[in-house]
Each structure stands twice: as C-alpha cells, then as structure tokens.
Structure 1
Amino acid sequence: MGIAKMKKLTLLAEQKEKDSVLVAMQAMHNIEVISLKEAFSEGEEPELIALHFEERKETVGQLTQTLQDIRYAIAYLDQFVPSVGMFKSLKKKRPIYSLADLESRVKEIDYKKLLHRVDYMEQTLTRLNEKLKELQKEEAFFRQWQNLTFMPSDTKAFKHFEILVGTVETEKAQVFEAAVNDLDTAYAEDIYQSRDTWGYLLVTPVDELEACREIQQIYGFQPLSYQEKGLPKDELQANLSEQKQIIHKITEEKESLKKYHETREHLHLAEEYFYNMREREKAKELMIHSEFVFVISGWTEADKLPGHIEHIQAMCDNQSIAFFETDVQEEEIDDVPTVFDNPEFVKPFESITAQFGMPKYNGFDPTPWYYPFHIAFFGMMSADLGYGLLLWLATWYALRTFELSKGMRLSLKMFNQLSYGTMLFGLIFGSFLGFDLPFRLLNLTDNVILVMGISVALGIIHMILGYGIKIYLAIKVKDYVSAYLDGAQWALILLGVAVIAINMVFFNIAWLTTAGLVLILGNILGMFIVKIFSNENKLAGVGQAAFGIMDVASVIGDLVSYTRLTALAVAGANIGMAFNLILSLLPPIARFTIGVILFVLLHALNIFITYLGAYVHTMRLQYVEFFGKFFESDGRRFNPLKTLEKYIWTKKS
C-alpha cells in the first residue's frame, strides 16, 4: 500500500520485431520507455560497438503535422455536424480496436481523401462568405446613393456648370452646405445622411468655380468615384439578387456538411492511429540500434512485469527476444517514476495527492492516511441525508450507465464515496433536504459549540497524524533533530492542548490540566534545549528557539481553520431550512405548483454552493494543515507508452 515497487525491463530483439514489440508495449499502457543514451559511459562512442541511435525528428514532425491537419478538420466539421445530446453521447459505447485492426481500418478509409474533401468544402465556404461580405459592403454603398438619379460621368457634358457628387464628414456637413449655398448661384443638396458622412450634389456655375473649390478644400469634400455601369438603385437590386443566390449556396454547403457524420468518425480513427504511431516513433529515438538487433528499456510495476513479458512474447516471435529484469539502483532513485499502489477504494483519492505533487519513488504516499479524514471533512461540511442520497444516486447512475474515461470514472467514484460522509453526518445532525428528521444525535443549531469542539478535535488528530508521518520520515533518514523539532515537539504540544480541553469539558481533574501544561511547556523548553545542543553557535541556537516560539501562532491558526467545518455545516443547513420556511409561507395551491419548482431550484443552488465549499475547504485542510507538515513533491508521474483512447478503446491483442 502506497507506492508501487518498480523494475526496469530491458529487451534485446531482432530488428524485424521492433514494430511488434512497440505495439505490444503501447497496448499495455504500463511501460515507460527510457533513453539508453546514458548507458554509454562518458567519452565512449556507441559506434565503436556497432550500435547507434536513430534520428526520428523528421518522421515525428510529419506525423505531428498530419495529426494537426486531422484535428483541424475534425474541429471544422464539429461546427456543422449535429452532435447528439450530452446523455446520449455519454451512453454511446466506444468501439474497441486492436492496434492492428485500427491500422487496417485507417488504410481502408483513405484519410488523405477525407482531408482533401473537408479542405475543399472549407475553401468553398470561405470564398462564398468572402464574396458575401464584399457584396454586403457594396450594398451599403448602393443604399446610400440609391437616390442618385443620374450617372456621375454624364455631368461632364455641361460647359457652363460643374456638377459634382461627393461626401463630407458628418460633423462638417451642415456648415459646408451653408457655405456653398451662401454663394450667389452655387447650389448644394444632400442625397443621403449617415453617421460618418453626408452625400452631396454640387451645382456650380463656371464663374464661381474658384470660390466653390476653395470651400470644398476647406471642408474636405471628397468627389465620388463611381465605376458601375448602372444607377445605384439598379445596382442595389442586382446586388441583393446575387446575395440571395450566395446565401442559398452557403446554406446548401452547410446542409451538405451536416451529413459528414461518417467522415468525422473516420477522422476520429485516423487521429487515434497517427497519435499512436507518433508515440511509437518517439520511443524509437530512445532505443539503441544495430544492423540486426535493437535494445529498448523501460520502467514498469514489478508485480505486472511477468504478465508484460508474457504478452510481448505472445505478440512477437519469442525465439528472437531476450528479456532482462533489473531492480532499481540507488543512483537511479531520482529517475524512477512514481506509481501509486493502493486498495481499490482508496485509488479515486490518488488524484488529490497528484494535484499537489508526486512523491519521490522512495518517498511517502499520504493517500491512504488522509482518505478517512477527507470523507469525514466533506461529509461534516455538507451534512444532509437528502443531499448525500442525491450525490450517491447521481454518481452511481453515471458509473453504471455512462461510457467514461478512466480519469472521469475515478472522479465519480471519489464523489460516490464522499456521499457516504454526507449521509452519515446528515443522520447525526438529523437533516434531510433542510427538514428535521425525527431522530438525531446532535442538533446542529443548538449545539454549535459542541460541534465546533468536535471539529477542532478532528483537526488535532489530523495534524498529529501529519506530524507523526514527519517523525517517521525523519527517523527513516536518521535526522533525529528534525524528527523532534518538526514533528514530535508540535505533536506533543497539540496533545497537551487536547488533554487540557478534554479535561475542561468532561472531567475537571487537576492533575490532567497539569499533565497538559507539562506537555506544552516541557516541549517549548525542549525546543530550546535541542536547538542549543544541535547548533554549533549556542547563542544562535537560543535565538532560533526564541523565533520558534512564534510558530505557536501558526499552529493555533491551523487549529482555527478546522472551525470552518462547523461554520460551513451550519451555513448549509440554515440556508436549506430558510428555503423551506419561505416556501411554507406560500398559499397551498402555490406551494404545490410553483412551490415544487422553486423547491427544486433553490435546493439545487444550495447543493452546488454546499458541495463547492466542502470540496474546496477539504482540499485546503489536506494541502495546508496536513501535507504542509511532511510532504515533499519532488517525484514525477509515470508516463507510459500508451494509445490515445479519445474516441475508441484499445485492446491488448
């Protein structure tokens, strides 16, 4: 229980078995391939013993580009191909393929042709949309000038008048018009008005051309450049007709794309295939090769190693493969990945540890130790039998009915277990959907101080456990000073606080109070003694011990954090009761009609808020008050050679 024992599996095989070996490893999802370049001592060239490393960057780059093209095409089709509802998609069973079957299927569907087809459809739609935007821009122009009843080019025939059509910025338009009309015989008439510009017709006699042109220059008059063959109103009608045709074509293309269900599914398979192939090509860079043989090495769980060897032998020619098992060496500790090994009921909580950080291979997995506290803390803060039943039913139904990824399944299993804590404390506090049950052990409202005491008591046990783990880890590396100063000292001080508190509440025995004070004061004195004797500079040891006393405030702050267990429990319960009280004030008809809907909605909101607060604060208590005492996250995750499994499941054989 904790961290799985790892072994290194090294395999020597003929070159003809290389792809078969990689396929067998990838299908198992349980061997992390490692680089063998470091197997050569410094200064030794692999060529001297007829071995070499393959450069696969070009192949990997090509496969990555193919993957990007496929994913882009899938994302594009997702915009048009109707998707099934969320529940239907979750219920839909994924197909199961072996890697060989997947390869055969992808070769049958001709993915390049599918990509070309999607690309052609995209380009067609892009051209149509660009043309439509261009026409819409022209439409705005024609609408502005549709009151123009003559062609601007026809005005050049007049000898005694200059007739111009053009625009002026809106803020200058009225002043411009007044200036032109103030001339003796010149004339300005607006044709259109918009937010940015006004369109004008200017008629100017030859003898006032100079004055009118000066006004045009002052106010920024821009002559109209009109290149169309017809009048604006006629061009507008033609434009609208062409837009209608293009919109119809766009609609047809989009309707056509809606039928690309099969194409998208085929591209899903192609994405799976090329991702798997790229990962195998990456693994080839980590091997050692010669003309006839290759060597590959990787980490895997020791108890699964015999099964892996058997599987590889079954998938390949057993006569041409040699297997070598190696235990983890001391110098390899930092390179070994961490794999958790816990009972099935604890496994869903491993993700909480992993989110904080991975312990080292030879480190300590705290998951099974905080597991019961996690359920208790979450349950105490949510504390309602009805809410717990709803959470249990929702997660049970999802686990039983939906096709879920491994990660999602573990998350739902975790919340399914958390529902038991919610139901248990719901029974203890006698709450069901905000209503009082006819039986209870504690009244949350009337016994707030007692419940808060229980919260702090749980916190003390939780923190002492964290300090206990610190003591164990420090003694393991023979760091006895740290075992006392960072672990035993604070655990004993907390024990002293607990003894005094329990005595005050239940017994009121003088010697128990004395014992608690001895534990507290004795360990504060012990801190000074250990600091002084473990420090070469005794005066500095005294100073460090004096500063160490300030950590008492930090410990008190940690204890206060556990009172939020009670605060959130009271808040959730009172909000639920308040909702029920409000609904009970409605008239009977409203209570059993709209009141039912409001009941569901209001309690759904309270469930969300309650569970969110319980989840976040439980995580905080683990990460700060527990992990902070001992946890070192300097390990790394296990990264095995595996398949994508985004749209399908992969079988080993």
Structure 2
Amino acid sequence: MAVVKMQRISLCGLNKDRKAILVRLQELGVVEINFRKKDLKGLKIQNTSEEKADFEKQAARADQALEILNRYVQEKTSLLDSLAGKPLVEKTKMEDIASRRDVYVTAISELIDLEKAIAEDKSEIARLQNQIEALQPWMNLDVPMGLKGTKKTELLLGTVAAPASLESVLTLLKTHTPPIEAADIEIICEEKDFVYLGVVCLKKDAPEAEDALRAGGFAKPSSIPQLAPREEEIRLQKEIERCEEEIGVKEKQICDMAAIREEIRLLSDYYRIRAERYSVLGKLPQTQKTFALSGYVPERYAADIQKELTEKYAVDVELEEIGAKENPPVLLKNNTFSNSVEGVLESFGLPKKGEFDPTVIMSIFYVFLFGLMLSDAAYGAIISVGCGIVLLKFPRMEASLRKSIKMFFWCGISTLFWGIMFGGYFGDAITVIARTFFGKEILIDAVWFVPLDDPMRMLVYSLLFGVIHLFTGLALKGYMMLKDKDVVGFFSDVVSWFLFLIGLILMLLPTEIFYSISQIEFNFGPGLSMAAKVMAVAGALIILVMSGRRKKKKIGIRLALGVYDLYNITGWLSDVLSYSRLLALGLATGVIAQVINQMGSMLGNSVIGVIFFIVVFIIGHIFNMAINVLGAYVHTNRLQFVEFFGKFYEGGGKPFEPFMAKTKYVDIQEEK
C-alpha cells in the first residue's frame, strides 16, 4: 500500500561505453530518463532524429510486410490467443536475426514490391474490364471501330441521347446548312439513355455531317480500338487472363515467404528497440569524450544498478534523494489482491507527490460493493472460475489485462459470497426447475435474508455501507492532514464533520421517519440523545467558524464561507443516497433472473418444454449476467471516483515510464 520511493540517478561516463551502458539500462527497464535544467547547462546534445526516423521507418516497413503476409497467408488463431501475451524469445535469437538483417530487409522489400505489383495488375484488370464493358453496345458492328472509311467515304461512330430514330438523325443532316444528302445511317444499339450510331457519308461532306450531328448531341466514343468490337473483346480478355496469371505467380511468391514471418517480427522489434535507444541518445548531454545521463529509479534497484555500472565501466554514478521541487513519476506497489484494481485507480489518476495511495482500502470496498450489486452465487461462481482458468492457462498475459481479469476473479468471489448470503442461484432457478420438471418444492434459504422479499431492509444496509465508505474516505483525509502535520485542518475539516454527521445520524435513528423506512426501532436514553445534539451543534459551530480560517481578519467573509461549507450537508445526503444503487442493481439482477426462469418454464414438463427451458435459460442468463456485470462495474467505479475519492483524493501523478525495450511482437528473455 504505497507509492514506490524514487531516487535520482546521475552518471557520467566515456563515450566509448555509451552504447553498452544504454543497452544495459534498456535491458533492465527500471530507469526513467529525465534531465533537470542544471544537468544540461553548458553541454551539447547530439541530434539523432535522422537515425531514429530511419529505424522507425524500417520497423514500419517490417510491419507492412507482416500485414501483407497476414492478408495472403493467415495464421491459425483462436479468440483466446490474444490472452496468451507476446511469445518469449531468447536474446541470442534476436541478435542472430539482427546480424543477418540485410537478408530479411531484402525479403521485406520484395514482399512490398510484390504487393505493389499485384495492386498494379488488379488495377490493369479493372481498366481492361471497363474497356470490355464500354465495347458491349458496339458488338453488332462488324467492321473495325478504327476504320476511317474508303477512298471516297468516311465512317462516323458515336452516340446521341435517347430516344432517337433514323428519321430524326436524317432530319439533322438534311436541315443542316448546307444539307447533307448523301449519307447512310445505321442504329447499332439502343439503350435507355443513348442510341449508338454508325454514319457513312462522302469524305468531302464529313466535316459538315459531323457538325450537323453534334448539334443533335452526337458524341464520339472516348476510346476507339483498331479492331472490330468482338475481336477487341477477345484481345482484352487475353490481357486479363495474362494479368491474372501474373497475380497468381506473385501471390505464390508471397505465400512461400510466410516461412520467415517470425524472423520479420523479430526484426521489426529489433528496429523498434534501436529507435527507442536513439531517442534517448538524442537527449544525452555530452562533450567530445564523455556523456551524462540522469533520471529516476526505484530505490530498491538503485544501489544494484550503481554497483553493476561502476564495476563494468569507467563511469561515475551518483544517487540522490528527490528534491523538494521535483515531481517524480509514480509507481505503485501493492499486494496480490489489491494490485488487481490499480488500473481503476490509474484511470482516475495516480497519486500526486506526497499523496496517500488508496489502492488497498479501495480494493476492499471495490470488491465488496461489486459483489453486493451483482449478488448471485451462480453468476459469481461462473465469473471467478472462468477468470481463474484464464489466469492459470495464460501466465504471460499482458500485465494490465491480467490485472483486470484478476480483479473480476475477486469480484466473482465477492458475488458468490453475497449470492449465498441472499439465496440467489440463477435467481430462483432451483425452485422453478424442481417445481416444473420434478413436481417438488425445493427452497434454498438465504443465509442472511432475501432482498426481493425485504427491499427496505436492503436499502437501509445499502445506505449503512455507503456511510461506512464515505466515513472511511473522510478518515483518510484526516490521516493525510496529520501526516502533513496540519493539526488545525484535521480538527477543522475532519473531526468537525465527524461530530456533525454522527450527531445528525444519532438524532435521526430514533425518529418515526427512520422506523417507517427500516422497521428498526432505536430507543436512546436522554443522555445519548443529548450527546447527539451536542455533537451536531459542536461540529456545526466548528465548521461555521473554522472553514474560512484563512480569512483571519475578514469576519464576514469567514462566516459566509462557514455557512457555505455547512450547506455541503446536502452533498453528503446526496452521496449517501447514491448507495441506493446497491439495492437497485441487486434487485435488477434477481428480478430479471426470476423472469427468465418463469418464461422458460411456461411450456411445462414436456420434451418441448425442457428444450425451450434450456434455450431460454442459457440465452437469458448469459444476457442477464453480461448486462449486470457491466452495470456493477460502471456503478462501482462511480462510487469510488465520485463519492469515495471526492472526500480525500485528487490524483494527478505522472506514471513511471522507464527506458526499456518496448516491443510489439515478442518479449526478450535475458541470458541467465
């Protein structure tokens, strides 16, 4: 339950050792490179942007080659493969691939060129097919479309807008000035929008004939092949077949290169690691023969790194405590149970400098409240067993995903517990199945009580759990104030609210309003009743007087701030009422489950009835579990983020981002 203590590590070494030191620090992956302004004073920084960009380009080309292979030779994968994590590869294997990288770079270029050539061939096929489609209306033409005519005649081919007839086209020619008398017209094809014409006229009349036709919307074909349409179609089809054959050959070449897929992955990660290294190299201040490096390292690793580097290299390594003005990165360290909810905390914000890490306390409430919202033993068993199997089967799962699945494992255990307490096993499935198909009455009694039978009791307990949750948040605020030695703030902003709120609660419990809701009767003696009033009044007075304590000489403003702070009691009331969602979601799970069971049993005890029940039961409960798991997750997060954190936690810390081998496809196993 703590933020890992950081130290600043600074080193100065010889340039000849620079590469080896960077490689080792990247392998260790526990140092975040970070320079203060004074670390850079008077020193130059090498520009490595060009080298970094080159490595990133090579990695991108390798990724592109892998995408090409995946399109043509897909790997057999299952839905669970994504849970397995990246494969573990020995460092020596990557070094071997790197030593022969020229071979694989050539293969990558060949893959990219083959893909480009295939794309060009496909584009050519599309162009040829468009030409064939454009030829279809001219198929009745039995002479080459490129034929100009004879010695004294000329052939004009083109289209006019439909509808059009021989008479209308002849009219265009004869009404032209001068009129064209010697012309023969043939309609080759008629379509919805165009009529395709062939016009033969004297060569001397051709210009005038074309002008006359153009006045009627005549347009020549955009492409005029030299062959007859049918012959041109055959020629184009042969070109398409040739292109398809070439595509087949190139696709086979790509498929044959699938054997080096793993090597390309390793090469891609090799270039990615090199790019990261050069990114850091471009931040290092240096002289002609020396370089410097500075950053943050977890305290537990600092001494070992210092010892290793000074023993292997001619380097001076210094460790310093974090300065008062520095804002170090944040790394959390929690027990196995609590670290499962670190992702929830990180999504809100990591602790800022000097702030308390609430992960352990939050994890207890998180699992507790999640189970209370879902509260069905069968659902909890399914979730916990499923998540447990996944955790055991895939030990190398990606860290953040593993934390999430572990969180749902614990939430499943909590759901199982509350389901037993409330007597929910797929709702009332056991009772319905026994009554419908076996003619017996089997009831599994709740260990505590059934919320559906006594919702007001459940509401009271939901609000009670909410008060405990909120008071814990307020207590943590007090702890942080005492840690910062703010005793006045502790009494003014924490103790005062405890007095005020506890006093009001004790005043509420004996009232008829509370009894009518909870059916629980409290009879306090006069001494406790008076103590409750005194606590409430004392707390209110402290809040009224001390909330604006920073405005020492401005009494009016100070009291106004106190009144405004007292108004926050409405916020506390709203926060407490928010925990009624524990009742609402718990009832929703149970009610929907019962409806599903009743629907499934409608056809009674018959073969069709059994089949119908099984189908409705499986589909219905899968839906109910999925929708209510989502609801429990969302609303549990809300209770943490809004109600709980709102009492004491701000966040805003920067995550620890060490210089390490950030790979995409494999994890590197270091030599033992």
Number of the residue aligned with 1:542: 559
Partner of 2:398: 405
- 1:540 aligns to what SS in structure 2? helix
What residue number does 1:386 align with? 378
For residues 534 and 277 of structure 1, the distance between their equivalents in structure 2, rounded to whole angstroms, comes to: 55
Structure 1 residue 373: deviation in Å? 0.8
AA matched with 1:102: M
| 3-state SS in 2 of match to 1:331 | coil
Match of 1:529 in 2: 545
Q: Which amino acid aligns with 2:273?
A: N
- 2:554 corresponds to 1:552: no
- After superposition, the Cα gap between the structure-2 partners of 1:533 and 1:634, relative to the gap in structure 1 and judged at 3 Å, is closer
CA contact (8 A) 1:146 1:236 kept: no
Secondary structure of the 1:112 match is helix
Q: 1:423 aligns with which of 407, 412, 416?
A: 416
3-state SS, counterpart of residue 453 of structure 2: coil
1:270 aligns with 2:285: no
Structure 1 residues 242 and 516 mapped into 2: Cα distance closer, same or farther (>3 Å)?
Answer: farther
Deviation readout 1:386-437 (Å, 9 max, x if unpaired): 1111111221111111241222222221111111111111111111223256
1:615: how far off? 0.8
Mapped pair 1:15 → 2:44: no
Quick one: distance in 2 between partners of 1:257 and 1:516?
82
Q: Contact 1:27 / 1:99 at 8 angstroms: preserved in 2?
A: no
Q: Is the 8 A contact 2:89 2:669 kept in 1?
A: yes
Tell me the equivalent position of 2:318: 324
- 1:613 equivalent to 2:605? Answer no
Contact 1:139 1:236 in 2 (8 A): yes
**Cα distance, 1:200 vs. partner?**
2.2
* Contact 1:459/1:559 (8 A) holds in 2: yes
* 2:137–2:196 CA contact under 8 A, matched in 1: no
- Contact 1:106–1:266 under 8 Å retained in 2: no
Partners of 2:384 and 2:409 within 8 A in 1 = yes
Aligned pairs (5 A) from 1:396-545:
396-402=388-394, 403-434=396-427, 435=429, 438-440=444-446, 441-477=448-484, 483=490, 487-500=494-507, 502-503=509-510, 504=514, 505-509=520-524, 511=526, 515-516=531-532, 518-531=534-547, 534-535=550-551, 536-545=553-562
**Aligned pair partner of 2:598 in 581, 589, 596:** 581
TM-score by length of 1: 0.87
Deviation larger for 596-605 or 247-256: 247-256
* AA aligned opposite 2:197: L
Residues 156 and 480 (structure 1), Cα distance of their counterparts in 2 relative to 1, 3 Å cut: farther
**What are structure 2's unaligned runs of at least 5 residues?**
175-180, 431-442, 515-519
Instruction: Please state whether the residue corresponding to 1:431 is helix, strand or coil.
Output: coil
How far is 1:203 from its partner?
Answer: 4.8
Q: Partner residue of 2:291?
A: 294
Asked whether the 8 Å contact 1:36–1:296 carries over to 2, the reply is no
CA–CA distance in structure 2, aligned partners of residues 339 and 92 of structure 1: 25
Deviations 1:470-493 (A, max 9, x none): 233344445567546654444444
Matching of residue 281 in structure 1 with residue 278 in structure 2: yes
Identity %, equivalent residues:
23
Alignment of 1:129-278 (within 5 A): 129-154=122-147, 156-157=149-150, 164-168=156-160, 173-174=162-163, 179-180=168-169, 189=187, 191-193=189-191, 197-201=193-197, 203=199, 216-217=213-214, 220-278=217-275
- Given that 1:36 and 1:288 are in contact with CA atoms closer than 8 Å, whether structure 2 keeps it comes out as no
Contact 1:176–1:215 (8 Å) recurs in 2: no
Measure, in 1, the Cα distance between the counterparts of 2:309 and 2:382.
Answer: 46
**Once the two structures are superposed, what CA deviation does each residue of 1:103-145 show, in whole Å capped at 9, x if it has no partner?**
2332235331122121221122122111112112212212233
1:13-162 map, 5 Å: 13-35=13-35, 38-39=38-39, 45-46=42-43, 52-87=44-79, 89-90=81-82, 95-97=87-89, 99=91, 101-109=93-101, 110-154=103-147, 156-157=149-150
Shift in CA distance, 603/233, structure 1 to aligned 2, threshold 3 Å? farther
Deviation of the 1:608 alpha carbon: 1.4
564-573 or 287-296: bigger deviation = 287-296
Q: Matched residues in 1 for 2:330 and 2:256: separation?
A: 46
Deviation digits for residues 138-187 of structure 1 (CA, Å, limit 9, x no counterpart): 12212233233333444744968x8643234xxx5227888547778996
Q: Distance in 2 between matches of 1:66 and 1:37?
A: 34
Structure 1 unaligned residues grouped into runs of 5+:
47-51
**1:479-511 CA distance string (max 9 Å, x none):** 567546654444444434543455443423364
Q: Is 228-237 or 22-31 further displaced after alignment?
A: 228-237
Alignment partners' CA distance in 1, 2:563 and 2:209: 92
Task: Say whether the 8 Å CA contact 2:507–2:532 is kept in structure 1.
Answer: yes
Give the count of matched residue pairs: 634
Contact 2:146 2:226 in 1 (8 A): no
2:147, 2:155 within 8 Å by CA — same for their partners in 1? no
Q: Amino acid of the residue matched to residue 174 of structure 1? A: P
Aligned residue for 2:72, secondary structure, equals: coil
Change (3 A) 1:480 1:75: farther
| Partner Cα separation in structure 1 for residue 316 and residue 110 of structure 2 | 47
Distance 1:95 1:533 in 2: 60
Distance 1:227 1:417 in 2: 75
- Alignment check: 8 A CA contact 1:165 1:199 kept: no
CA distance in 2, matches of 1:177, 1:447: 92
Amino acid at match of 1:559: V
TM value normalised by structure 2? 0.85
Distance 1:107 1:499, change over 3 A: farther
- C-alpha change, 1:487 and 1:234, in structure 2 (3 Å) is farther
Give the structure 2 partner of residue 340 of structure 1: 332
Indicate whether 1:635 and 2:653 are aligned: yes
More displaced, 220-229 or 472-481? 472-481
Q: Give the Cα–Cα distance (whole angstroms) in 1 for the partners of residues 217 and 426 of structure 2.
A: 73
In structure 2, what residue type is equivalent to 1:460?
A: V
Deviation at 1:269?
A: 0.4
Q: Which moved more, 1:634-643 or 1:139-148?
A: 139-148
What CA distance in whole angstroms lies between the structure 1 residues aligned with 2:274 and 2:7? 26
Asked if structure 2 preserves the Cα contact closer than 8 Å seen for 1:3 and 1:361, the reply is: no
Residue 375 (structure 2) pairs with residue 351 (structure 1): no
CA distance in 2, matches of 1:193, 1:481: 93
Counterpart check, 1:564 vs 2:575 = no
C-alpha separation in 2, matches of 1:476 and 1:289: 42
How far the C-alpha of 1:638 sits from its partner, in A, is: 0.4
1:593 alignment partner, SS class: helix
Name the SS for the 2:297 alignment partner. strand
More displaced 10-residue stretch of structure 1: 528-537 or 618-627: 528-537
Cα-Cα RMSD: 3.3
1:189/1:560 Cα in 2 relative to 1: closer, same or farther (>3 Å)?
farther
Secondary structure at the residue paired with 1:223? coil
Q: CA deviation at 1:614?
A: 0.9
Cα distance in 2, alignment partners of residues 153 and 166 from structure 1 = 12
CA distance in 2, matches of 1:287, 1:72: 32
Task: Answer whether contact 1:24 1:311 (CA < 8 A) is retained.
Answer: no
Bigger shift: residues 210-219 or 122-131? 210-219
Using a 3 Å threshold, how does the CA distance of structure 1 residues 212 and 485 change in structure 2: closer, same or farther? Answer: farther
